[in-house]
Structure 1
Amino acid sequence: MADPAPHSGSRALTRGEVAAMIDHTLLAPEATAATVATAVEEARQLGVYAVCLSPAMLPVDAPGLVLATVAGFPSGKHHSLVKGTEARLSAEQGAAEVDMVIDIGAALARDYTAVLSDVITVREALGEQVVLKVIVESAALPDEVLVEVCRVAERAGADFVKTSTGFHPAGGADARAVRLMADTVGGRLGIKASGGIRTAAAAAELIEAGATRLGLSRSRDVLAGFPE
Protein backbone atom coordinates (compact mmCIF):
# COMPACT_ATOMS: atom_id res chain seq x y z
CA MET A 1 0.00 0.00 0.00
CA ALA A 2 1.37 3.41 -0.97
CA ASP A 3 2.18 5.98 1.68
CA PRO A 4 -0.53 8.61 2.10
CA ALA A 5 0.06 11.91 0.32
CA PRO A 6 1.53 14.67 2.49
CA HIS A 7 -1.13 17.14 3.58
CA SER A 8 -1.40 20.80 4.38
CA GLY A 9 -4.32 21.01 6.78
CA SER A 10 -6.98 18.69 5.36
CA ARG A 11 -5.94 18.95 1.71
CA ALA A 12 -3.31 16.90 -0.08
CA LEU A 13 -0.50 18.97 -1.57
CA THR A 14 0.49 18.34 -5.17
CA ARG A 15 4.00 18.19 -6.53
CA GLY A 16 3.44 21.31 -8.62
CA GLU A 17 2.14 23.31 -5.66
CA VAL A 18 5.18 22.45 -3.59
CA ALA A 19 7.61 23.04 -6.46
CA ALA A 20 6.24 26.56 -6.79
CA MET A 21 7.38 27.22 -3.20
CA ILE A 22 10.95 25.93 -3.53
CA ASP A 23 14.25 27.79 -3.66
CA HIS A 24 16.50 25.03 -5.01
CA THR A 25 19.72 25.73 -3.15
CA LEU A 26 23.43 25.21 -3.74
CA LEU A 27 25.50 27.10 -1.16
CA ALA A 28 28.24 24.53 -0.58
CA PRO A 29 31.73 26.06 -0.26
CA GLU A 30 33.04 23.57 -2.81
CA ALA A 31 30.54 24.59 -5.51
CA THR A 32 32.03 25.07 -8.97
CA ALA A 33 30.74 26.50 -12.22
CA ALA A 34 29.94 22.94 -13.30
CA THR A 35 27.95 22.06 -10.16
CA VAL A 36 26.10 25.37 -10.38
CA ALA A 37 25.13 24.62 -13.98
CA THR A 38 23.90 21.20 -12.88
CA ALA A 39 21.86 22.75 -10.06
CA VAL A 40 20.28 25.27 -12.42
CA GLU A 41 19.35 22.55 -14.89
CA GLU A 42 17.89 20.40 -12.11
CA ALA A 43 15.85 23.37 -10.87
CA ARG A 44 14.48 23.91 -14.38
CA GLN A 45 13.57 20.24 -14.77
CA LEU A 46 11.78 20.21 -11.43
CA GLY A 47 9.84 23.38 -12.16
CA VAL A 48 10.77 25.07 -8.88
CA TYR A 49 10.35 28.76 -8.18
CA ALA A 50 13.97 29.86 -7.71
CA VAL A 51 17.57 28.76 -7.59
CA CYS A 52 19.65 30.08 -4.68
CA LEU A 53 23.41 30.32 -5.19
CA SER A 54 26.43 31.84 -3.48
CA PRO A 55 27.13 35.43 -4.56
CA ALA A 56 30.59 34.52 -5.86
CA MET A 57 28.92 32.27 -8.45
CA LEU A 58 26.96 35.13 -10.03
CA PRO A 59 26.11 36.11 -12.69
CA VAL A 60 24.38 32.92 -13.81
CA ASP A 61 22.14 32.20 -16.77
CA ALA A 62 18.99 30.68 -15.28
CA PRO A 63 16.13 31.23 -17.73
CA GLY A 64 12.69 30.62 -16.32
CA LEU A 65 13.91 30.76 -12.72
CA VAL A 66 14.09 33.49 -10.13
CA LEU A 67 17.73 33.97 -9.13
CA ALA A 68 18.36 34.21 -5.38
CA THR A 69 21.53 34.58 -3.35
CA VAL A 70 22.77 35.24 0.18
CA ALA A 71 24.54 38.03 2.06
CA GLY A 72 26.57 37.84 5.25
CA PHE A 73 26.41 34.07 4.90
CA PRO A 74 26.59 31.87 6.89
CA SER A 75 27.75 33.49 10.16
CA GLY A 76 26.12 36.93 9.94
CA LYS A 77 29.28 38.32 11.53
CA HIS A 78 29.96 40.78 8.74
CA HIS A 79 29.83 44.55 8.97
CA SER A 80 26.39 45.77 7.90
CA LEU A 81 27.95 47.89 5.16
CA VAL A 82 29.70 44.79 3.81
CA LYS A 83 26.39 42.90 3.77
CA GLY A 84 24.75 45.82 1.99
CA THR A 85 27.51 46.07 -0.59
CA GLU A 86 27.46 42.33 -1.20
CA ALA A 87 23.68 42.38 -1.60
CA ARG A 88 23.72 45.33 -4.00
CA LEU A 89 26.48 43.78 -6.15
CA SER A 90 24.47 40.55 -6.32
CA ALA A 91 21.40 42.48 -7.45
CA GLU A 92 23.47 44.17 -10.14
CA GLN A 93 24.54 40.69 -11.27
CA GLY A 94 20.99 39.46 -11.63
CA ALA A 95 19.78 38.39 -8.19
CA ALA A 96 16.09 39.14 -7.69
CA GLU A 97 16.09 37.91 -4.08
CA VAL A 98 18.69 38.18 -1.31
CA ASP A 99 18.69 36.13 1.91
CA MET A 100 20.74 38.01 4.53
CA VAL A 101 21.95 36.63 7.85
CA ILE A 102 21.47 38.81 10.90
CA ASP A 103 24.10 39.10 13.64
CA ILE A 104 22.89 36.23 15.84
CA GLY A 105 25.05 37.40 18.72
CA ALA A 106 23.35 40.80 18.68
CA ALA A 107 19.98 39.07 18.78
CA LEU A 108 21.00 36.86 21.69
CA ALA A 109 22.25 39.96 23.53
CA ARG A 110 18.79 41.50 22.97
CA ASP A 111 20.45 44.35 21.07
CA TYR A 112 17.49 44.76 18.75
CA THR A 113 18.61 48.24 17.69
CA ALA A 114 21.71 46.65 16.15
CA VAL A 115 19.61 44.00 14.42
CA LEU A 116 17.26 46.68 13.08
CA SER A 117 20.18 48.75 11.77
CA ASP A 118 21.71 45.67 10.14
CA VAL A 119 18.55 44.82 8.20
CA ILE A 120 17.80 48.44 7.29
CA THR A 121 21.30 48.82 5.86
CA VAL A 122 20.76 45.91 3.50
CA ARG A 123 17.21 46.98 2.65
CA GLU A 124 18.41 50.46 1.70
CA ALA A 125 21.32 49.06 -0.31
CA LEU A 126 18.93 46.89 -2.34
CA GLY A 127 16.08 49.33 -2.84
CA GLU A 128 12.51 48.12 -2.98
CA GLN A 129 12.63 46.03 -6.15
CA VAL A 130 14.68 43.14 -4.76
CA VAL A 131 13.05 40.69 -2.35
CA LEU A 132 14.82 40.65 1.03
CA LYS A 133 14.67 37.57 3.24
CA VAL A 134 16.10 37.82 6.76
CA ILE A 135 17.72 34.67 8.14
CA VAL A 136 17.26 34.59 11.92
CA GLU A 137 18.76 31.16 12.77
CA SER A 138 15.64 30.18 14.68
CA ALA A 139 17.08 27.06 16.31
CA ALA A 140 19.69 29.19 18.10
CA LEU A 141 17.19 31.68 19.58
CA PRO A 142 14.89 31.51 22.61
CA ASP A 143 11.25 31.94 21.67
CA GLU A 144 10.94 35.52 22.92
CA VAL A 145 14.03 36.54 20.94
CA LEU A 146 12.77 34.81 17.82
CA VAL A 147 9.49 36.71 18.07
CA GLU A 148 11.25 40.03 18.55
CA VAL A 149 13.73 39.61 15.67
CA CYS A 150 10.82 38.75 13.38
CA ARG A 151 9.12 41.98 14.45
CA VAL A 152 12.38 43.87 13.89
CA ALA A 153 12.73 42.39 10.39
CA GLU A 154 9.21 43.55 9.58
CA ARG A 155 9.92 47.08 10.85
CA ALA A 156 13.09 47.17 8.77
CA GLY A 157 11.20 46.42 5.55
CA ALA A 158 11.98 42.75 5.01
CA ASP A 159 9.76 40.69 2.71
CA PHE A 160 10.40 37.34 4.41
CA VAL A 161 11.80 35.92 7.61
CA LYS A 162 13.75 32.72 7.17
CA THR A 163 14.54 30.04 9.74
CA SER A 164 18.10 28.98 9.07
CA THR A 165 21.28 28.96 7.04
CA GLY A 166 21.54 25.18 7.31
CA PHE A 167 25.09 25.63 8.60
CA HIS A 168 24.46 26.39 12.29
CA PRO A 169 25.12 23.55 14.77
CA ALA A 170 21.86 24.35 16.60
CA GLY A 171 19.94 22.91 13.66
CA GLY A 172 17.63 23.93 10.86
CA ALA A 173 13.91 24.39 10.35
CA ASP A 174 11.28 22.92 12.65
CA ALA A 175 7.53 23.29 12.65
CA ARG A 176 7.31 24.85 16.10
CA ALA A 177 9.60 27.73 15.14
CA VAL A 178 7.84 28.22 11.81
CA ARG A 179 4.49 28.35 13.59
CA LEU A 180 5.81 30.97 16.01
CA MET A 181 7.23 33.04 13.15
CA ALA A 182 3.98 32.78 11.21
CA ASP A 183 1.97 33.80 14.28
CA THR A 184 4.22 36.86 14.59
CA VAL A 185 4.44 38.18 11.02
CA GLY A 186 2.59 35.71 8.80
CA GLY A 187 0.20 37.30 6.34
CA ARG A 188 2.39 40.40 6.17
CA LEU A 189 5.76 38.74 5.52
CA GLY A 190 6.55 35.44 3.90
CA ILE A 191 8.01 32.62 5.99
CA LYS A 192 10.89 30.64 4.48
CA ALA A 193 11.78 27.33 6.10
CA SER A 194 15.24 25.98 5.34
CA GLY A 195 17.85 23.71 6.81
CA GLY A 196 17.61 19.92 7.05
CA ILE A 197 14.40 19.44 5.05
CA ARG A 198 14.90 16.09 3.38
CA THR A 199 11.48 14.43 3.07
CA ALA A 200 8.03 15.23 1.75
CA ALA A 201 6.57 14.67 5.21
CA ALA A 202 8.92 17.25 6.74
CA ALA A 203 8.13 19.74 3.97
CA ALA A 204 4.38 19.24 4.38
CA GLU A 205 4.62 19.71 8.14
CA LEU A 206 6.45 23.02 7.67
CA ILE A 207 3.95 24.24 5.10
CA GLU A 208 1.10 23.37 7.43
CA ALA A 209 2.89 25.31 10.19
CA GLY A 210 2.95 28.41 7.99
CA ALA A 211 5.94 28.23 5.64
CA THR A 212 5.31 29.97 2.33
CA ARG A 213 8.73 29.17 0.84
CA LEU A 214 11.11 26.23 1.27
CA GLY A 215 14.87 26.25 0.90
CA LEU A 216 15.93 22.80 -0.28
CA SER A 217 19.12 21.24 -1.56
CA ARG A 218 17.36 17.88 -2.07
CA SER A 219 14.39 19.18 -4.00
CA ARG A 220 14.06 16.10 -6.20
CA ASP A 221 13.87 13.73 -3.22
CA VAL A 222 11.30 15.91 -1.45
CA LEU A 223 9.11 16.41 -4.52
CA ALA A 224 9.13 12.68 -5.25
CA GLY A 225 6.98 12.21 -2.16
CA PHE A 226 4.13 14.39 -3.44
CA PRO A 227 1.48 13.29 -5.97
CA GLU A 228 1.24 14.84 -9.42
Structure 2
Amino acid sequence: MLPASISFESLTPEMVAKTIDHALLKPDMTVDEVIEGCRLCAKYQVASVCVKPCDVFAAAQVLQGTGVDVGTVIGFPHGNSPAQVKVFEAIKALEDGAVELDMVLNIGHLKSGLFGQVRDEIRLLVTAAKEKLPSCCVKVIFECSLLTDEEKAVACRLSEQAGADYVKTSTGFSTGGATLADLKLMRASTDPSKTHVKASGGIRTLDYLIECLQAGADRIGASTTADIIEDMKARKAAVA
Protein backbone atom coordinates (compact mmCIF):
# COMPACT_ATOMS: atom_id res chain seq x y z
CA MET A 1 0.00 0.00 0.00
CA LEU A 2 1.46 3.34 -1.03
CA PRO A 3 1.51 6.21 1.47
CA ALA A 4 -0.89 9.10 0.97
CA SER A 5 2.01 11.46 0.33
CA ILE A 6 4.53 9.85 -2.02
CA SER A 7 8.19 10.78 -1.74
CA PHE A 8 11.56 9.07 -1.56
CA GLU A 9 11.39 9.44 2.22
CA SER A 10 7.96 7.80 2.53
CA LEU A 11 8.78 4.82 0.32
CA THR A 12 10.69 1.63 1.03
CA PRO A 13 12.40 -0.70 -1.46
CA GLU A 14 9.62 -3.21 -0.83
CA MET A 15 6.93 -0.63 -1.63
CA VAL A 16 8.71 0.36 -4.84
CA ALA A 17 9.01 -3.29 -5.89
CA LYS A 18 5.28 -3.82 -5.44
CA THR A 19 4.52 -1.00 -7.89
CA ILE A 20 6.49 -2.68 -10.69
CA ASP A 21 5.24 -4.88 -13.51
CA HIS A 22 8.55 -6.21 -14.80
CA ALA A 23 8.47 -6.28 -18.61
CA LEU A 24 9.91 -9.21 -20.57
CA LEU A 25 8.48 -8.32 -23.98
CA LYS A 26 11.36 -7.86 -26.40
CA PRO A 27 10.63 -9.84 -29.58
CA ASP A 28 14.07 -11.51 -29.59
CA MET A 29 14.01 -12.54 -25.94
CA THR A 30 14.80 -16.22 -25.47
CA VAL A 31 12.99 -18.60 -23.16
CA ASP A 32 16.10 -18.78 -20.95
CA GLU A 33 16.08 -14.97 -20.67
CA VAL A 34 12.41 -15.04 -19.72
CA ILE A 35 13.06 -17.62 -17.01
CA GLU A 36 16.00 -15.58 -15.71
CA GLY A 37 13.78 -12.48 -15.65
CA CYS A 38 11.09 -14.35 -13.72
CA ARG A 39 13.64 -15.42 -11.13
CA LEU A 40 14.70 -11.79 -10.77
CA CYS A 41 11.04 -10.89 -10.19
CA ALA A 42 10.81 -13.50 -7.44
CA LYS A 43 14.01 -12.18 -5.85
CA TYR A 44 12.75 -8.61 -5.70
CA GLN A 45 9.09 -9.50 -5.07
CA VAL A 46 7.66 -7.19 -7.71
CA ALA A 47 3.92 -6.96 -8.32
CA SER A 48 3.99 -8.95 -11.55
CA VAL A 49 5.96 -10.03 -14.57
CA CYS A 50 4.56 -9.13 -17.99
CA VAL A 51 5.58 -11.65 -20.64
CA LYS A 52 4.66 -12.40 -24.24
CA PRO A 53 1.63 -14.71 -24.60
CA CYS A 54 3.84 -17.57 -25.77
CA ASP A 55 5.81 -17.36 -22.50
CA VAL A 56 2.93 -17.32 -20.02
CA PHE A 57 2.98 -21.02 -19.24
CA ALA A 58 6.73 -21.05 -18.57
CA ALA A 59 6.53 -17.92 -16.42
CA ALA A 60 3.66 -19.38 -14.39
CA GLN A 61 5.69 -22.51 -13.72
CA VAL A 62 8.71 -20.54 -12.52
CA LEU A 63 6.71 -18.12 -10.36
CA GLN A 64 4.26 -20.58 -8.82
CA GLY A 65 4.07 -19.96 -5.07
CA THR A 66 6.37 -16.89 -5.13
CA GLY A 67 3.69 -14.24 -4.66
CA VAL A 68 4.55 -12.61 -8.00
CA ASP A 69 1.66 -12.49 -10.47
CA VAL A 70 1.97 -13.41 -14.14
CA GLY A 71 0.65 -10.97 -16.72
CA THR A 72 0.69 -10.82 -20.48
CA VAL A 73 -0.25 -8.59 -23.38
CA ILE A 74 -3.27 -8.90 -25.66
CA GLY A 75 -3.47 -7.52 -29.21
CA PHE A 76 0.11 -6.36 -28.76
CA PRO A 77 1.57 -4.00 -29.78
CA HIS A 78 -0.85 -2.31 -32.20
CA GLY A 79 -4.32 -3.35 -30.99
CA ASN A 80 -5.53 -4.26 -34.47
CA SER A 81 -6.76 -7.82 -33.89
CA PRO A 82 -10.55 -8.29 -34.08
CA ALA A 83 -12.28 -8.27 -30.71
CA GLN A 84 -13.02 -12.01 -30.82
CA VAL A 85 -9.33 -12.76 -31.44
CA LYS A 86 -8.35 -10.64 -28.44
CA VAL A 87 -10.85 -12.54 -26.32
CA PHE A 88 -9.47 -15.90 -27.51
CA GLU A 89 -5.94 -14.72 -26.74
CA ALA A 90 -7.02 -13.56 -23.27
CA ILE A 91 -8.76 -16.82 -22.37
CA LYS A 92 -5.76 -18.86 -23.55
CA ALA A 93 -3.47 -16.71 -21.44
CA LEU A 94 -5.62 -17.24 -18.35
CA GLU A 95 -5.64 -20.98 -18.98
CA ASP A 96 -1.84 -20.90 -19.19
CA GLY A 97 -1.53 -19.17 -15.82
CA ALA A 98 -1.82 -15.41 -16.37
CA VAL A 99 -3.86 -13.39 -13.91
CA GLU A 100 -3.23 -9.94 -15.42
CA LEU A 101 -4.02 -8.91 -19.01
CA ASP A 102 -2.72 -5.73 -20.67
CA MET A 103 -4.80 -5.26 -23.82
CA VAL A 104 -4.13 -2.67 -26.52
CA LEU A 105 -7.29 -0.85 -27.54
CA ASN A 106 -8.07 -0.38 -31.21
CA ILE A 107 -6.24 2.89 -31.78
CA GLY A 108 -7.52 3.42 -35.32
CA HIS A 109 -11.13 2.92 -34.23
CA LEU A 110 -10.69 5.39 -31.37
CA LYS A 111 -9.23 8.00 -33.74
CA SER A 112 -12.10 7.31 -36.15
CA GLY A 113 -14.61 8.29 -33.47
CA LEU A 114 -16.02 4.76 -33.21
CA PHE A 115 -16.31 5.10 -29.47
CA GLY A 116 -19.10 2.57 -29.02
CA GLN A 117 -17.08 -0.09 -30.82
CA VAL A 118 -14.01 0.65 -28.73
CA ARG A 119 -15.99 0.45 -25.48
CA ASP A 120 -17.78 -2.73 -26.56
CA GLU A 121 -14.50 -4.45 -27.47
CA ILE A 122 -13.03 -3.68 -24.05
CA ARG A 123 -16.23 -4.77 -22.32
CA LEU A 124 -16.31 -8.02 -24.31
CA LEU A 125 -12.81 -8.90 -23.19
CA VAL A 126 -13.33 -7.80 -19.58
CA THR A 127 -16.55 -9.81 -19.31
CA ALA A 128 -15.05 -12.96 -20.85
CA ALA A 129 -11.87 -12.72 -18.76
CA LYS A 130 -13.67 -12.19 -15.47
CA GLU A 131 -16.11 -15.01 -16.20
CA LYS A 132 -13.06 -17.24 -16.70
CA LEU A 133 -11.16 -15.85 -13.69
CA PRO A 134 -13.10 -13.38 -11.52
CA SER A 135 -9.95 -12.14 -9.82
CA CYS A 136 -8.09 -11.33 -13.03
CA CYS A 137 -6.95 -7.77 -13.67
CA VAL A 138 -7.51 -6.11 -17.06
CA LYS A 139 -5.47 -3.10 -18.12
CA VAL A 140 -6.17 -1.10 -21.29
CA ILE A 141 -3.18 0.29 -23.18
CA PHE A 142 -3.81 3.57 -25.02
CA GLU A 143 -0.50 4.37 -26.82
CA CYS A 144 -0.75 7.99 -25.68
CA SER A 145 1.95 9.25 -28.04
CA LEU A 146 -0.46 8.61 -30.94
CA LEU A 147 -3.47 10.33 -29.34
CA THR A 148 -4.65 13.85 -28.66
CA ASP A 149 -5.44 14.85 -25.09
CA GLU A 150 -9.14 14.70 -25.93
CA GLU A 151 -8.75 11.17 -27.28
CA LYS A 152 -6.88 10.12 -24.14
CA ALA A 153 -9.67 11.45 -21.94
CA VAL A 154 -12.29 9.68 -24.07
CA ALA A 155 -10.29 6.43 -23.88
CA CYS A 156 -10.23 6.75 -20.09
CA ARG A 157 -14.01 7.13 -19.93
CA LEU A 158 -14.64 4.25 -22.34
CA SER A 159 -12.30 1.93 -20.43
CA GLU A 160 -13.93 2.78 -17.12
CA GLN A 161 -17.42 2.29 -18.55
CA ALA A 162 -16.32 -1.10 -19.89
CA GLY A 163 -15.13 -2.25 -16.47
CA ALA A 164 -11.35 -2.20 -16.97
CA ASP A 165 -9.24 -2.23 -13.83
CA TYR A 166 -6.45 -0.02 -15.21
CA VAL A 167 -5.72 2.45 -17.97
CA LYS A 168 -2.14 2.34 -19.24
CA THR A 169 -0.06 4.91 -21.09
CA SER A 170 1.78 2.92 -23.72
CA THR A 171 3.24 -0.33 -25.00
CA GLY A 172 6.83 0.85 -24.96
CA PHE A 173 7.08 -0.09 -28.63
CA SER A 174 5.72 3.05 -30.34
CA THR A 175 6.81 6.67 -30.67
CA GLY A 176 6.81 7.58 -26.99
CA GLY A 177 6.43 6.34 -23.44
CA ALA A 178 4.93 7.53 -20.19
CA THR A 179 4.85 11.29 -19.59
CA LEU A 180 3.87 13.05 -16.39
CA ALA A 181 1.33 15.16 -18.28
CA ASP A 182 -0.40 12.05 -19.62
CA LEU A 183 -0.48 10.42 -16.18
CA LYS A 184 -2.05 13.51 -14.63
CA LEU A 185 -4.63 13.66 -17.44
CA MET A 186 -5.49 9.96 -17.07
CA ARG A 187 -5.80 10.25 -13.31
CA ALA A 188 -8.07 13.28 -13.69
CA SER A 189 -10.19 11.47 -16.32
CA THR A 190 -10.95 8.38 -14.22
CA ASP A 191 -12.52 7.62 -10.85
CA PRO A 192 -9.73 6.53 -8.47
CA SER A 193 -12.17 4.27 -6.62
CA LYS A 194 -12.85 2.33 -9.83
CA THR A 195 -9.88 2.63 -12.16
CA HIS A 196 -6.13 2.57 -11.58
CA VAL A 197 -3.40 4.05 -13.77
CA LYS A 198 -0.31 2.28 -15.10
CA ALA A 199 2.70 4.14 -16.44
CA SER A 200 4.76 2.27 -19.01
CA GLY A 201 7.48 3.13 -21.49
CA GLY A 202 10.78 4.85 -20.76
CA ILE A 203 10.73 4.52 -16.96
CA ARG A 204 14.32 3.52 -16.25
CA THR A 205 15.28 5.33 -13.05
CA LEU A 206 14.09 5.46 -9.46
CA ASP A 207 13.58 9.22 -9.61
CA TYR A 208 11.31 9.02 -12.65
CA LEU A 209 9.40 6.10 -11.14
CA ILE A 210 8.68 8.23 -8.07
CA GLU A 211 7.64 11.18 -10.26
CA CYS A 212 5.21 8.87 -12.10
CA LEU A 213 3.70 7.72 -8.80
CA GLN A 214 3.33 11.34 -7.71
CA ALA A 215 1.58 12.13 -11.02
CA GLY A 216 -1.08 9.50 -10.36
CA ALA A 217 0.31 6.13 -11.40
CA ASP A 218 -0.45 3.06 -9.29
CA ARG A 219 1.69 0.62 -11.29
CA ILE A 220 4.89 1.04 -13.25
CA GLY A 221 5.94 -1.00 -16.25
CA ALA A 222 9.72 -1.29 -16.22
CA SER A 223 12.55 -3.48 -17.43
CA THR A 224 15.35 -1.94 -15.33
CA THR A 225 13.86 -3.32 -12.13
CA ALA A 226 17.13 -4.44 -10.53
CA ASP A 227 18.77 -1.04 -11.14
CA ILE A 228 15.78 0.81 -9.69
CA ILE A 229 15.46 -1.25 -6.54
CA GLU A 230 19.21 -1.49 -5.90
CA ASP A 231 19.43 2.30 -6.25
CA MET A 232 16.62 2.64 -3.71
CA LYS A 233 18.40 0.32 -1.28
CA ALA A 234 21.72 2.12 -1.67
CA ARG A 235 20.23 5.57 -1.19
CA LYS A 236 18.22 4.45 1.85
CA ALA A 237 21.37 2.93 3.37
CA ALA A 238 23.26 6.16 2.76
CA VAL A 239 20.80 8.22 4.83
CA ALA A 240 20.22 5.64 7.56
Report TM bin, short chain: over 0.9
**Could you say which residue in structure 1 is the equivalent of 2:184?**
179
Segments of structure 1 that go 5 or more residues without pairing to the other structure are 1-6
Larger fraction in helix: 2
State the identity %: 36
Relative to structure 2, which stretch is displaced further, 63-72 or 104-113? 104-113
CA–CA separation in structure 2 for the residues paired with 1:197 and 1:23: 11
Name the counterpart of 2:37: 39
Distance in 2 (alpha carbons) for counterparts of 1:43 and 1:212: 18
- Structure 2 unaligned residues grouped into runs of 5+: none
**Alignment partners' CA distance in 2, 1:191 and 1:140:** 18
Residue of structure 2 in register with 1:74 after alignment: 77
Shift in Å at residue 225 of structure 1? Answer: 2.8
Judge conservation of contact 1:85–1:125 (CA < 8 Å) in 2.
no
How many residues are paired up?
221
Choose the corresponding residue for 2:206, options 162, 187, 200: 200
In the TM superposition, residue 78 of structure 1 has moved relative to its aligned partner by: 0.6
Shift, 1:19, TM fit: 0.4
How much does 1:11 deviate?
A: 4.5
Distance in 2 between residues matched to 1:129 and 1:225, nearest whole Å:
33
**1:9 Cα deviation (Å)?**
5.0
Considering only aligned residues, what root-mean-square deviation do their CA atoms show, in Å? 1.5
Which residues in structure 2 correspond to 1:141-156 (within 5 Å)? 141-156=147-162
State whether residues 200 and 224 of structure 1, in contact with CA within 8 Å, keep that contact through their aligned partners in structure 2: no
What do the CA deviations read for 1:123-148 (whole angstroms, capped 9, x no partner)? 12212331100001112211111011
Give the TM-score of the pair, scaled to structure 2.
0.88
4+ residue stretches of structure 1 with deviation over 3 A?
9-12
Correspondence for 2:170:
164
Distance in 1 between residues matched to 2:200 and 2:29, nearest whole Å: 19
TM-score, normalised via structure 1 length: 0.92
The equivalent position to 2:117 in structure 1, one of 111, 114, 117, is 114
